[in-house]
Amino acid sequence: MFTSALLEEALKRKRLVKQMREQLIHNLRVTYARLWVRIKGSNREPEWIAAELVIPILTLSAYVYLYKMLNAPSEYAGFVIIGGTMIAFWVNVLWNMSAQFYWEKETGTLEAYLVAPISRMAILLGMALGGIVNTTLRAIVILVAGTIIFQAPLIVNEPFTALLLFFLTIIALYALGMLFASLFMLYGREAWHTASLLQEPVYFLSGSYFPVKMLPFFVQLVASLIPLTFGLDGIRRVVILGAGIADIWLDIIALVIFIAVLLPLAKFALNYMENLGKKEGRLTLRWQ
């Protein structure tokens, strides 16, 4: 009697593990499918690739020339180039991650996602990974081109620290994008303005084109709510000033905290917004 109960329990556990494994594989396939669409879609049109490479260089060139005009030291060109490179990720997070569910709603594919037996987080993860792959390739080109054109001096003593900071920044940024995605999904039409609203102010607050420590204290306080601020500060110190992990450990801790908070918050927000959207009948509402 006791043995059969144990056997049944073991069988139940085995079934549960099998079920979880199947679910994991299923959702990994979802992630891969969304990643594939993102990579294929973003690289389908040569005009889009050219625009993503040329436009950031135009803007950062203007700021480099402004620093030159003011006789600032050549490291400032490096500041602008690193900032311009990382901004590519912020733009991607805003328009291709945060606003994505809004686009999906407009094109009618959001309904398909919602009725499919899949995790919404798996879709968001696929979008994020696809965005990271695409934007990293473009960011490398912007970085190399900017450095060559303006001969910005880079001193990298600890390349692995720079890579660690880079990946932590990217994960934190895309976690923020996942959180925004659910908000954008529900507030529809306002998404466009909201994305516009968040673009330039974040360039300013995160110190994309100048060291953030030069901003007034209360502005720095607001800036510390943005993961990009810490990422940019750390990466610049490692890549331009030759700093090591001992100098930027605070940036690393801040980014880890961002990730630990933003990822669960994104999952919670997604469930909450989906339920609210269902209740109010706004999930499939176009031209909202």
Partner 1 sequence: MAVNAILRTIKQAIWVGWKVETNWADPLIFAIYYLIRPLAGLLIVGFIFIIGSAAGGAFSPEYFAFMFIGNSFFIYVVQIMITMSMLIHDDRAHYEVLKHIYLAPNSWSWYIIGRALNGVLNASISLILTLGFGVLIFQGLLGVSIQINWLAIDYSLLALSLILGIVCFIAMGFVLCGINIMTSKVQFMLTDYVSGILYLFGGVVFMPEILPNWGQAISNALPITYFLKTIRFSILHQTATASQMDLLYLVLTMIATIIVGALVFRIAEYKARKNGLIDKKEEY
d(CA 168, CA 135): 15
d(CA 287, CA 280): 16
Q: Is 190 in the site for partner 1 (CB under 8 A)?
A: yes
- The DSSP secondary-structure symbol of 152 reads -
Output 221 or 253, the one with its CB closest to partner 1: 221
Name which of 278, 274, 254 is nearest 266 in CA terms: 274
**198: exposed, middle or buried (Cβ count in 10 Å: 0-12, 13-18, 19+):** middle
Q: Is 268 in the site for partner 1 (CB under 8 A)?
A: no
Q: Is 54 in the site for partner 1 (CB under 8 A)?
A: yes
Q: Is 189 in the site for partner 1 (CB under 8 A)?
A: yes
**69-108 residues near partner 1, rule: CB under 8 A:** 69-73, 76, 106-107
Q: Is 112 in the site for partner 1 (CB under 8 A)?
A: no
Instruction: Supply the minimum distance, in Å, between the C-beta of residue 159 and partner 1.
Output: 27
Q: Which stretch binds partner 1 (CB under 8 A): 55-63, 162-170, 175-183, 253-261?
A: 55-63
Radius of gyration of the chain from Cα atoms?
22
- The DSSP secondary-structure symbol of 96 reads I
CB count in 10 Å sphere of residue 209: 23
Q: Give whole-number Cα distances, 119 to 25, 30, 47, 85, 284, in Å.
A: 12, 8, 33, 32, 18
Query: Which tokens sit at 220?
Result: 């720095």
Q: Which stretch binds partner 1 (CB under 8 A): 18-26, 53-61, 128-136, 240-248?
A: 53-61
Instruction: Supply the minimum distance, in Å, between the C-beta of residue 192 and partner 1.
Output: 7
Output 207 or 255, the one with its CB closest to partner 1: 207
Q: Is 287 in the site for partner 1 (CB under 8 A)?
A: yes
Return left, alpha or beta for 210; rule: phi > 0 is left, psi -120 to 50 is alpha, else beta.
Answer: beta
Name which of 30, 28, 182 is nearest 113 in CA terms: 30
Q: Is 53 in the site for partner 1 (CB under 8 A)?
A: no
C-beta separation of 103 from 245 below 8 A? no
Q: Which stretch binds partner 1 (CB under 8 A): 47-55, 114-122, 254-262, 277-285?
A: 47-55
**206-265 residues near partner 1, rule: CB under 8 A:** 208-211, 214-216
Output 67 or 258, the one with its CB closest to partner 1: 67
Angle in degrees, CA 32, 38, 42, rounded to 5: 150
Output 216 or 281, the one with its CB closest to partner 1: 216
Instruction: Supply the minimum distance, in Å, between the C-beta of residue 193 and partner 1.
Output: 5
Q: Is 184 in the site for partner 1 (CB under 8 A)?
A: no
d(CA 236, CA 132): 20
- The DSSP secondary-structure symbol of 212 reads G
Among 22, 45, 111, 280, binds partner 1 (CB under 8 A): 45
Output 214 or 246, the one with its CB closest to partner 1: 214
Using CB under 8 A, list all residues that contact partner 1. Answer: 45, 47-48, 51, 54-55, 58-59, 61-63, 65-73, 76, 106-107, 189-190, 192-193, 196-197, 199-201, 203-204, 208-211, 214-216, 287
